[in-house]
Each structure stands twice: as C-alpha cells, then as structure tokens.
Amino acid sequence: MVVGAQQRSSWSARRPAHGSTPLPPSVRGLVLAVALMLVCEACGSRRSYDELLAGEAGPVPTTAPAAAGSPALGPADGGVGTTVDLGAPTTTTASVGAAPTSVAPGAGLPGNSPSNASGAATPACTASKAPIVIGSVGTQTGVVGGAISPGTTGVKAWAAAVNAHGGIRCHPIKYVVADDGGDPARHQALVRQLVEQTKVVAFVQMDAPLTGQASVAYLSAKQIPVVGHEGGSPWFYDNPTYFAATSSGDVSLEGVYAVVADAAKQANKTKIATISCVEAAICSRFNDVVPAFAPRYGGQIVYRAQASLVQPDYTAVCRAAKDAGAEVLVVFLDGSSVQRTARSCASVDYHPQLVVPALSMIPALQADPNLDGMVGAIITAPWTLGAVPAVAEHLRAMAQYAPGAPPGAESIAGWTSAKLFEAALANVAEPITSQAILEGLWGVNGNDLGGLTYPVAFTKGQTMAKRYCVWAVVLHGGNYSSAGLETRKCAAL
C-alpha cells in the first residue's frame, strides 16, 4: 500500500513558502516522489504512520526566546557543552585535561528549560542545585567525525539554552564530550572514565558508529541510559537501556531505500546505482542490505560500489554506473565526497538523479551547479522547516550559542536526542540518578517532541520498536529547502 496517500493531493496543490525559489517541474516531481514512501505488504506489517500512531502526537510546545546576555558557545571553551581533552586519540587510557564548566541558572524562565511544554509558571530558583552531568563518547575528528560530530554541537546548544533559563528544575546541565578517535578500546576506556570518575548519569547523542558496540555490555550492566545516536548504531534496538528518538542502523537504511525506490518509480526510472563508503557502518552497511530491500520496494539495482571517503576522484565509479544504465545514483558518502562524485560524473557526461542521506548536505554544496536538484532523506524534521516551532527553537539556540556552526541534519539530530532526554526528566523524582532517568524514559509514551520525530514510546524492560520516519530536503537554486514537503512519512517494521 502507499503510505500517506491522503496527503498526496494536498502536496500537489502547495506552493513554496514566500521568498523561496519555485522548483522546476522535473525536480518538483522527483522531490514529491521522495516524500511519498512506497510500502509493500510483502515486507510484513507495515502500516501507515497515521494508522499506527493515530492520536499519540501531542501539541507542539510554545517556545520562549533565549535570555539576553546568555553565554555563547565559543570555539575554545564550548560554554556548558564542554569538550574535555581526555588524552590523545591513539591511547586507550586517559586523564582529564580540563574540568567541565557550567553556567549558573540565569534569567528567562526560572527553574525551567526554554521549552516548558506545560507552560505553567514555577517558582524561581533560589539556589543552583547539583548539576546533571551527561556525556558523549564518539568519533569527533577525522573524516567520519567531521560528518557526525555536529550532533554534539546540537546538544551543546541545547545545554547552553537550558542553563540560560535556569537549568532543569534548577539543576544546570554539564555536557562532556570525548573523542575516541574511532578506536573501540579507547571508546570503552573513555566511557568507563566518564561513568566512574566524571560521574556521568546518562549519555546523550552517542555518536559512535565505529565504536559504540564496545561499551554496550558495560553500560547495560551499569544501567546507564544512552539517549540518541548519529543514525548508524543498530544496537539501540537490542538493549532496553538504549533510547533513540529516531530510527537507526538497518531500519534507517530501509527507509532511505524506500524513498529512493519510490522516487525512481515516480520519475519513470527503474535502474539504480549505489556508492557507499568503506570506513563506517553508517554508510558501508547500505551496500550489504540493498539486495534485500530491492525486491520489497522495487527498483532494479544495476550497480553497487564501495569507495573510500578520502579518495580524490570517483570517475571510475561514475563510468561504471553510466555503463550499467543507472538513472538514479544513491551516494552514501560525506558531503565533500558527494561533491567530488558529482564532479567526477560530470567529467564523463553522466548526470543521474542524485539521492543522499541528509547529513551529506553540508553548506559547501549549495554553490555547486553539479548538485542542483539533489535530494536528501532526513530522519528528523529538517532544519529547513523553520516554521515549525520546535525546529525554530533549535535554529535560535544554534544562532545564539553555537555561532558559526551552521544547522544541519546532524545538529538537529543531536538537538532531538537532547529534547528526548529533557522530556524524560519532566517527572523524574529527586535525586536525579541514572535509575531515575531510566524510569523517566520508560514513561515517555507517544511524545513526538513538538514534531521533531514520530511519537516515541518506550516500555520498561523491553527494547524499542523498529520504525522509520523520513522528511525530504532538496537543493535547488543554491538553497536547501523543504517547502511543500513538510509532512513526515513513517512506517513500522
């Protein structure tokens, strides 16, 4: 069946938001196709988002402006979102090189986060309570880190905004970020250090697609909650102390492929080629699962390739895809590599429709004419939907507390993880311990975080359900846009 068929006619009548550049018919048709997810009954139980989750979404919260004079996230100290030097990436043991800093509760909404969903006034903080220490250990540097580390910037901006408005129930947030350098042993050592020495009570936005599996057994045994990820960590579905606000691993990949296959079908294109990286599971896994997805969703995979994120040229791949007759090219690489791929394909007069994960849609691509019409699939509400209050809150926080860091797919993914953590703390009893946070997370039931994701729900002692949601972002006329494509499309697996 076709998911979201009821909304399809209304999309076709929509016009771009005021001031945006209208899309040409060929691009507009493809973008519309990308937003419409084709779900086949042979895949098992795949009901529409509305059928599965009707009535679970809550109202979009109102948003208060950030407090004047609140500290910004500077490049050196990071504000409250401190990146702590925990040793050289090549070592597996580490010592803290700098103490995390915190910001005392300030003006704005005393005792509340900036998005108090209830809107009810609470007493002003008379004194700052003990900080809530959260952390993230992942790949923050290198090519992989460059693609996924903006997620931690989104959490830093959230922490700064929360603290500027009095913290959470007068508890300031301390956020500690550690770089594991892509080394699983180092990842495990740093996680232990943050738990046993830094006294982290939860991990938020664990951006560790290369290394995160190494700490699963330890964190599960310690009952330390892990909230949010970068999109390529399948172990979130295997452990009841792991909580994701969006899909991850193969589930995310299936959603992306459903988008690709439907886009090809709607554009009367059947032949699809894929290129994915060899460095990280967040993209290399796509090469492995595509053969299983194609029979379910349609489309003919005529060529698959894997390549390195650091190779300077992809001409051979482009030529092979062209020779195979591929009309759609799915590029699971980082943003810079996507740009090199488009340039390489243009050099052999090959101009397929490009489809990418939205994390590849970095600002540098906007000025490249080879990429005009490129479509990205994103697993949270896009940063381009500034009319959505929950997205607008993220954009304001990034502008004030992370100046110079452009919002994108990963920054809003980190922000969404932080908002899930915030929602879990709404009714947590004092003292705020790891166990209390777990209870708060297990109490989240049908909260879509103001439209940032699908209505997430967790059950104590059970692993999270598998479902995906996607939105579309298109690059046209030098700008990323989701105008006319605001509706999320989701399915349960």
CA distance 449 to 426: 13
More confident call, 336 vs 20:
336
Which pLDDT does position 491 carry in this prediction? 78
**Does residue 70 lie in a domain region?**
no
Which pLDDT does position 483 carry in this prediction? 81
CA distance 200 to 186: 17
Taking only the tens place, the pLDDT of each residue in 72-120 is 333 223 334 444 434 433 222 222 222 332 322 222 222 343 444 333 3
Taking only the tens place, the pLDDT of each residue in 118-137 is 333 445 676 679 999 999 99
Which pLDDT does position 126 carry in this prediction? 66
Which pLDDT does position 7 carry in this prediction? 29
Statement: residue 13 has pLDDT above 70: no
Q: Which of 67-76, 145-154, 301-310, 483-492 has the lowest mean pLDDT?
A: 67-76
User: Mean pLDDT across the stretch 168-195?
Assistant: 96
Statement: residue 487 has pLDDT above 60: yes
Cβ atoms of 247 and 224 closer than 8 Å = no
Residue closest to 400 by CA, chosen among 60, 64, 18, 62: 64
pLDDT above 90: percentage of residues in the chain: 53
More confident call, 398 vs 72:
398
**Does residue 71 lie in a domain region?**
no
Q: What are phi and psi for residue 372, nearest 5 degrees?
A: -60, 130
Statement: residue 436 has pLDDT above 90: yes
Please state, rounded to an integer, the average pLDDT across all residues of the chain. 77
| CATH at 347 | 3.40.50.2300
**Does residue 73 lie in a domain region?**
no
Cβ atoms of 146 and 279 closer than 8 Å = no
User: In 3-state terms, what secondary structure has residue 90?
Assistant: coil
Q: Residue 99: count other Cβ atoms within 10 Å of its Cβ.
A: 11
Residues 205 and 86 in one domain: yes
More confident call, 451 vs 1:
451
Residue closest to 147 by CA, chosen among 315, 12, 281: 281
**Does residue 183 lie in a domain region?**
yes
**Does residue 365 lie in a domain region?**
yes
Tell me the angle at which helices 150-164 and 409-424 cross, rounded to the nearest 10 degrees: 50
Residues 280 and 372 in one domain: yes
Which pLDDT does position 232 carry in this prediction? 82
Statement: residue 453 has pLDDT above 70: yes
Q: What are phi and psi for residue 377, nearest 5 degrees?
A: -105, 130
CA distance 375 to 269: 15
Residues 445 and 483 in one domain: no
Residues 29 and 14 in one domain: yes
Structure tokens at 31: 């973008």
Residues 345 and 479 in one domain: yes
CA distance 136 to 9: 43
**Does residue 122 lie in a domain region?**
no
Which pLDDT does position 365 carry in this prediction? 95
Residues 91 and 212 in one domain: yes
Which residue range is the domain that position 290 belongs to? 5-58+255-378+471-492
User: Mean pLDDT across the stretch 467-477?
Assistant: 88
Cβ atoms of 70 and 172 closer than 8 Å = no
User: Mean pLDDT across the stretch 152-166?
Assistant: 97
Residues 105 and 228 in one domain: yes
Residues 488 and 445 in one domain: no
Statement: residue 214 has pLDDT above 50: yes
User: Mean pLDDT across the stretch 267-290?
Assistant: 86
Statement: residue 423 has pLDDT above 50: yes
Residues 356 and 478 in one domain: yes
Q: Residue 9: count other Cβ atoms within 10 Å of its Cβ.
A: 8
CA distance 281 to 286: 8
Structure tokens at 471: 């939105």
**Does residue 190 lie in a domain region?**
yes
Residue closest to 79 by CA, chosen among 146, 164, 151: 164
Q: Is the dihedral of CA 84, 150, 468, 391 positive or negative?
A: positive
Q: How many domains does the chain have?
A: 2
Residue 238, CA distances (Å) to 148, 248, 249 in order: 22, 12, 12
CA distance 304 to 296: 18
Residues 105 and 196 in one domain: yes
CA distance 223 to 201: 10
Taking only the tens place, the pLDDT of each residue in 21-42 is 444 444 444 433 433 332 232 2
User: Mean pLDDT across the stretch 352-360?
Assistant: 90
The residues with which 48 forms a beta bridge, in sequence order, are: 491
**Does residue 31 lie in a domain region?**
yes
Q: Which of 67-81, 219-233, 276-290, 295-309 has the lowest mean pLDDT?
A: 67-81
Sheet containing 81-83: order of strands = 81-83, 173-179, 132-138, 202-206, 226-229, 242-243
Residues 271 and 349 in one domain: yes
Residue closest to 245 by CA, chosen among 379, 136, 52, 138: 379
Instruction: Mark out the alpha helices in 348-453 (DSSP H runs).
Output: 389-401, 409-424, 434-442
Residues 182 and 136 in one domain: yes
